[in-house]
């Protein structure tokens, strides 16, 4: 197994599409002068190159740039002639041919003058817009280089392993703020061709770093600053924002940097840290070294108008990007197939630190119902991929920023940290960071450091998890007379149709066997099957606290017994939530009956914990959305079940918030309120009506921030045009981006066809930025008619969608997935396949495959359990005469 895996890694590396290694960049001197009226920029780059082999050509990356001139000057000698330059738009390269041979061991300076466009694709050096107080549209220029768009900003050797030093100069109007990764080294006045006086700002030389971490920003910006950390930290925003809303992130950043320096025993090496709220931003945030960029809602927090969930998201994002300053920026993956070393780590680290700063948030509990489930969910599709997946081209690289790299990656780290113990794990991390600072690594380097400090064979246990796709379902059979359980592992697929050739991997499973006495942290399943002797069989559970990556399949009797054990207090919150998740997913995949999972859910009506409820409602939600095109009576019965489950808890918790409500309680109230309301609870709906009517007459504080999304959603589900217009108006006029987004996300809940159409039209209109298109679309999921309308809309507007979101950038895949993954019948599956059959799927092929797989899984589930669910609903009184 080890050998095979190692061979796999070698071939991954051999198949990479990378630049020739005949030269090596050492230093870039880059000057850029953006024009915020023409949306173009002029640039000059001087690259110091070491010549590694005798050569007559230089190939570097460049996309959509006009390279005007290239000169090459050897260290000692006179200028070489560049005889020609050729561009390869497919490989995204420019090749300079020389009339002389550059000798191995020598050094040259290559200078290129070029110009580029400030596009609005949120990649490379691009433009962003915002409205000033007078309502005029204003622009700033900003960058997003990761993964492979530095080559859109300037000609460069755009690979993570080709680290170099950078000295950046920005030339701009004097009233504009210029920022880059480093602090300002010197500024001077320059007169440009038309005699205008401008500032030329040169930043200090950067440490050795990868191109994808470079950043520069030019625009009208204001800031707040803290000196609470060793180096100054600032939060910047455009003038339309209230900069004080950056205070929470600013203070958290100071504490977090300090915490990380100590935890990693490694000083943050840059002279400052700037964090900027960028008005147009494709992702949530980007960890550029010393200049982190954020989507506005992920960094600016208005305590008065935002809820607990928003605060948690911002804290997570800030701590994630700051963790990257070490994991990714200081120590960088060798190539993109090692992306998980960046993203898995930053994700794990953000919880680790969040848990230290806000223990009352209980983020490791949320992890079980959020990231762990996302990982297990995607990785149960045939179209999933190993954590370390060969990727060659830009469009392939873009698509692996997914739940495998982030969530499975962090789950693997959670697993190994529990296996080693958190302290040892951190010790290993410190060693890894020290050993590889300013360098590049592969996954083996990480395992080596962890093995060294722990003395345990970490690589042998862990490499399967990153090199192989999927994870197992562990089936438990009991032999009560011998006090033995027989366990067996098989690859788990959501479609429930694993073929023998797909079931060849034997995963080293950390079983974490829980008994009345304790948790056995060492016992592992390293073969396909194994017998385990237990002291007694009255109570046991595998995967204690769900920190391992597998699902457990118990007998129906044992599952019922575990339900009772849960009530008796033998299971932790994580155990209860994880067990409910496993049971629900196994039912959806045909390993068990859905009726059994519904009975289990029903038994949890007295559950006291938020996280467990989150999972209960998530599982019921999964049934309801797979059943969304089924008979209305059955759908109503499921809704009645939801009401039965949630009403009393939501009434008990109430929907008033006080100063003393903890972070989790606030979210608990909001969750139960929203679910009960969506299930038709009359008391909740009356409260909604009351809040919304006060809100409509201008009292915006009538809806508590924690409830805003639910109230909008419920009002629209049950309302019409009048309500729609009030919420649309709020989208247009609310003072903060967070509030605007809540409105935009809920518009899709309206049912009338005209309103569905308005939401669809709105998503492609000028009123919605490209960064937000997915929000109104995501809302169209509560009525079967809107799911179908959304899919029809995508088919009818395909060209327009592709034009707005070109496949070279990352958002097309999101939209394809959104518009297709809620479908659930065989006919719909065929329709989707038919539509995309002749289309070029570059840039979204992975998303589409995953969507198709998830439709297949739902269609199979319905085929198997349609009658089972119906008869369960009947026999429990939810269907037919006796409506509860
Ligand atoms: N490195 C990513 C940003 C990124 C994402 C670049 C996709 C290129 C493609 C950044 O560190 C990140 O992971 N951001 C997350 C936020 C985080 C809290 C999970 C994001 O953007 O959602
Ligand atoms: Zn990240």
Span from the CA of 153 to the centroid of ligand 2 (angstroms): 21
pTM summary value: 0.97
What distance in Å separates the CA atoms of residue 6 and residue 486, rounded to the nearest whole number?
31
**How far apart are the C-alpha atoms of 558 and 280, rounded to whole Å?**
52
Residue 802 tokens read as 């592709």
Which residue from 746, 707, 753, 701 is spatially nearest to 723, judged by alpha carbons?
746
Residue nearest to atom 14 of ligand 1 (CA): 285
C-alpha separations of 784 from 340, 639, 780 in Å: 37, 14, 9
List, in order of start, the domains of the chain with CATH numbers. 1-219 (2.60.40.1730), 331-467 (1.10.390.10), 471-547 (2.60.40.1910), 719-883 (1.25.50.20)
Output the pLDDT for position 17: 87
Query: 294 has which bridge partners?
Result: 277, 285
Please identify every residue annotated as catalytic. 321
Q: How confident is the model at residue 79 (pLDDT cuts 50, 70, 90)?
A: confident
> What atom in ligand 1 is closest to the CA of residue 320?
18
* Cα separation, 298 vs 558, whole angstroms: 44
pLDDT over 90 at 215, yes or no: yes
Strands 472-479 and 551-553: parallel
Q: Which of 708, 748, 752, 749 is nearest to 730 (CA)?
A: 708
* DSSP characters over 525-544: E-SSEEEEE-S-SSSEESSG
Cα 778 to Cα 744: distance, rounded to the nearest angstrom: 10
Which atom of ligand 1 lies closest to the CA of 343? 13
Asked whether residue 186 is marked as a ligand-binding residue, the answer is no
Q: What is the distance in A from the centroid of ligand 2 to the CA of 346?
A: 6
Quick one: pLDDT at residue 5?
Answer: 42
Instruction: Supply 543's token pair.
Output: 């995967």
Instruction: Starting from the CA of residue 345, give the closest ligand.
Output: 2
Sequence-distant (≥ 6) Cβ neighbours of residue 632 within 8 angstroms: none
pLDDT at res. 7: 45
Which residue has its alpha carbon closest to ligand 1 atom 8?
146
3-state secondary structure of 428: helix
Can you read off the two tokens belonging to residue 236? 């910047």
Mean pLDDT on 363-386: 97
Sheet holding 93-102, edge to edge: 55-61, 93-102, 82-88
133: how many CB neighbours lie within 10 A of its CB?
A: 7
Count Cβ atoms below 10 Å from residue 350 Cβ, excluding itself: 23
Give the Å distance between the CA of 338 and the centre of ligand 2: 13
Whether the pLDDT of residue 6 is over 80: the answer is no
Residue 146, ligand 1, Cβ within 6 A: yes
Contact 216, 274 (CB under 8 A): no
Atom 3, ligand 1: which residue's CA is nearest? 286
Q: How many helices (H) and strands (E) does the chain have?
A: 29, 30
Beta strand 66-74 with 472-479: parallel, antiparallel or unpaired? unpaired
Round to whole Å and give the CA distance between 813 and 801.
11
Closest CA to 846 of 469, 287, 472, 581: 469
- Rounded mean pLDDT, 183-209: 94
Distance 811 CA to ligand 2 centre (A): 17
State the average pLDDT for the chain.
95
Alpha-helical regions (H) of 654-680: 663-678
Q: What pLDDT digit, counting tens, does each position of 439-483 carry?
A: 999 999 999 999 999 999 999 999 999 999 999 999 999 998 999
- The β-bridge partners of 139 are 129
pLDDT reading at 100 higher than 70: yes
Q: Whose CA is nearest to atom 22 of ligand 1?
A: 284
| CA separation for the pair 603, 563 (Å, rounded) | 7
What is the Cα gyration radius of the chain? Answer: 28
Mean pLDDT of the 116-130 span: 97
Residue 11 confidence (pLDDT): 62
**Rounded Cα distance, 677 and 673, in Å:** 6
170, containing H or E segment: strand 165-172
556 to each of 79, 476, 552, 560, how far by Cα in Å? 79, 11, 12, 6
470 neighbors 404 (Cβ within 8 angstroms): no
Nearest to 89 by CA among 141, 178, 151: 151
Q: How far is CA 81 from the centre of its chain?
A: 47
pLDDT at 809: 87
Q: 287 with 324: CB under 8 angstroms?
A: yes
> Cα 551 to the chain's mean position, in Å?
23
| 208 Cβ inside 6 Å of ligand 1 | no
The confidence band for 654, taking pLDDT boundaries of 50, 70 and 90, is very high
Is the CB of 321 within 6 Å of ligand 1? yes
Q: Is residue 27 marked as binding?
A: no
Task: Look at ligand 1, atom 2, and give the residue with the nearest C-alpha.
Answer: 286
Give the pLDDT band of residue 13 (cuts 50, 70, 90). Answer: confident
- Decide: 286 in ligand 1 pocket, CB within 6 A: yes
Atom number, ligand 1, closest to the C-alpha of residue 346: 11
- Ligand 1 lined by 166 (C-beta under 6 Å): no
* pLDDT, tens digit (0-9, with 9 covering 90-100), for 839-876: 999 999 999 999 999 999 999 999 999 999 999 999 99
Cβ of 285 closer than 6 Å to ligand 1, yes or no, is yes
Ligand 1: atom nearest CA of 295 is 21
**676 pocket-lining for ligand 1 (C-beta < 6 Å):** no
| Residue 320 assigned as binding residue | yes
- What tokens appear for 256 in the block? 């977090």
Confidence at 881, pLDDT banded by 50, 70, 90: low
For the residues 345-357, what does the mean pLDDT come to?
A: 97
Per-position b or e across 678-716, b if 16+ CB within 10 A of its CB:
bbbbeebbebbeebbeebbeeeeeebbbbbbbbbbbbbb
Quick one: what percent of the chain has pLDDT higher than 90?
Answer: 93
Which two tokens mark 203? 């930043």
Q: How far is the CA of 80 from the centre of ligand 2 (A)?
A: 42
- Strands across the sheet with 177-180, in order? 124-131, 137-144, 216-219, 177-180
DSSP secondary structure code for residue 380 in this structure: T
The gap from C-alpha 617 to its chain's centroid, in whole angstroms, comes to 22
Residue 276 C-beta-side C-alpha neighbours within 13 Å: 34
pLDDT value at 884 more than 70: no
End-to-end CA distance of the chain: 56
Q: Could you say which ligand is closest to the alpha carbon of residue 215?
A: 1
Distance of CA 754 to the CA centre of its chain: 33
Q: Is the previous residue joined to 827 through a cis bond, with omega within 30 degrees of 0?
A: no
Helices (H), 538-590: 556-567, 573-588
**Cβ 41 under 6 angstroms from ligand 1:** no
- Binned at pLDDT 50, 70 and 90, residue 9 comes out as low
Give the position, in ligand 1's atom list, of the atom nearest the Cα of 283: 21
């Amino acid at each position: 197994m080890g050998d095979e895996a190692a061979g796999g890694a070698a071939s991954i590396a051999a198949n990479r599409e990378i630049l020739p290694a005949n030269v090596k960049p050492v230093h870039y001197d880059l000057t850029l002068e953006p024009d915020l009226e023409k949306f173009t920029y002029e640039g000059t780059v001087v690259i110091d190159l070491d010549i590694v082999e005798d050569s007559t050509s230089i190939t570097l990356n460049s996309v959509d740039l006009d390279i005007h001139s290239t000169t090459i000057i050897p260290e000692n000698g006179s200028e070489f002639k560049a005889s020609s330059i050729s561009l390869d738009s497919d490989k995204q390269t420019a090749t300079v041919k020389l009339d002389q041979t550059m000798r191995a061991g020598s050094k040259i300076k290559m200078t290129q003058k070029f110009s580029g466009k400030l596009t609005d694709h949120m990649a490379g050096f691009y433009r962003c817009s915002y409205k000033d107080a007078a309502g005029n549209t204003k622009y700033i220029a900003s960058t997003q280089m990761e993964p492979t768009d530095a080559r859109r900003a300037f000609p460069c050797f755009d690979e993570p392993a080709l680290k170099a030093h950078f000295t950046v100069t920005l030339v701009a109007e004097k009233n504009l703020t210029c920022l880059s990764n480093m602090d300002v080294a010197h500024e001077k006045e320059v007169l440009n061709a038309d005699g205008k006086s401008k500032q030329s700002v040169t930043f200090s030389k950067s440490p050795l770093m990868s191109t994808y971490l470079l950043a520069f920003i030019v625009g009208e910006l204001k800031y707040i600053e803290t000196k609470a950390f060793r180096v100054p930290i600032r939060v910047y925003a455009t003038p339309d924002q209230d900069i004080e809303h950056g205070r929470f992130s600013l203070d958290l950043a100071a504490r977090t940097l300090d915490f990380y320096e100590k935890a990693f025993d490694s000083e943050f090496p840059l002279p400052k840290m700037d964090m900027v709220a960028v008005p147009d931003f494709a992702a949530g945030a980007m960890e550029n070294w010393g200049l982190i960029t954020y989507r506005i809602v992920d960094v600016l927090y208005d305590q008065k108008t935002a809820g607990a969930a928003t605060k948690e998201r911002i804290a997570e994002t800030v701590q994630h990007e700051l963790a990257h300053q070490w994991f990714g920026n200081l120590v960088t993956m060798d190539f993109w197939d090692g992306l998980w070393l960046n993203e898995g780590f930053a994700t794990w680290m953000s919880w680790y630190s969040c848990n230290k700063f806000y223990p009352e948030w209980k983020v490791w509990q949320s992890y079980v119902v959020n990231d762990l489930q996302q990982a297990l969910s995607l990785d149960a599709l045939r179209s999933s991929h190993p954590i370390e997946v060969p990727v060659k081209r830009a469009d392939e690289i873009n698509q692996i920023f997914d739940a495998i790299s982030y969530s499975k990656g962090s789950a693997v780290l959670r697993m190994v940290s529990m296996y080693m113990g958190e302290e040892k794990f951190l010790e290993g991390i410190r060693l890894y960071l020290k050993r590889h600072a300013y360098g590049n690594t592969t996954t083996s380097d990480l395992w080596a450091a962890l093995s060294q400090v722990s003395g345990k064979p970490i690589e042998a246990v862990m490499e399967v998890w990153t090199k192989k796709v999927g994870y197992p379902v562990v089936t438990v059979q009991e032999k009560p007379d011998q006090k033995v359980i027989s366990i067996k592992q098989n690859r788990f697929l959501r479609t429930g149709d694993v073929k023998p050739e797909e079931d060849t991997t034997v995963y080293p499973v950390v079983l974490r066997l829980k008994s009345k006495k304790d948790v056995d942290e060492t016992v592992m399943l390293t073969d396909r099957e194994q017998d385990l002797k237990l002291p007694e069989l009255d109570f046991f559970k595998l995967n204690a606290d769900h920190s391992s990556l597998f699902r457990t399949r118990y007998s129906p009797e044992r599952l019922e017994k575990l339900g009772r054990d849960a009530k008796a207090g033998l299971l932790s919150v994580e155990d209860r939530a994880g067990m409910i998740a496993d049971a629900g997913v196994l039912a959806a995949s045909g390993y068990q009956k859905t009726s059994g999972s519904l009975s289990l859910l029903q038994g949890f009506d007295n559950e006291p914990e938020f996280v467990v409820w989150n999972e209960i409602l998530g599982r019921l939600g999964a049934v309801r959305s797979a059943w969304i095109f089924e008979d209305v009576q059955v759908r109503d019965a499921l809704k009645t079940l939801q009401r039965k489950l949630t009403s009393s808890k939501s009434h008990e918790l109430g929907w008033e918030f006080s100063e003393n409500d903890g972070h989790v309680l606030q979210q608990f109230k909001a969750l139960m309120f929203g679910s009960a309301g969506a299930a038709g609870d009359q008391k909740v709906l009356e409260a909604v009506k009351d809040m919304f009517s006060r809100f409509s007459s201008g009292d915006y504080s009538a809806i508590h921030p924690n409830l805003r999304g639910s109230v909008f959603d419920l009002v629209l589900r049950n309302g019409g045009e009048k309500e729609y217009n009030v919420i649309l108006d709020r989208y247009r006029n609310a003072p903060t981006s967070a509030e605007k987004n809540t409105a935009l996300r809920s518009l899709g809940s309206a049912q009338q066809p005209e309103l569905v159409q308005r939401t669809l039209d709105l998503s492609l209109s000028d009123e919605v930025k490209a960064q937000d298109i997915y929000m109104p679309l995501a809302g169209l999921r509560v009525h079967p008619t809107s799911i179908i309308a959304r899919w029809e809309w995508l088919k009818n507007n395909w060209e327009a969608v592709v034009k707005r979101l070109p496949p070279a950038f990352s958002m097309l895949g999101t939209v394809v997935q959104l518009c297709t993954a809620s479908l659930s019948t065989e006919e719909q599956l065929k329709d989707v396949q038919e539509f995309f059959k002749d289309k070029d799927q570059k840039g979204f092929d992975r998303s589409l495959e995953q969507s198709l797989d998830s439709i297949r899984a739902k269609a199979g589930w319905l085929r198997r359990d349609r009658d089972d669910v119906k008869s369960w609903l009947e026999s429990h009184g939810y269907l037919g005469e006796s409506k509860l």
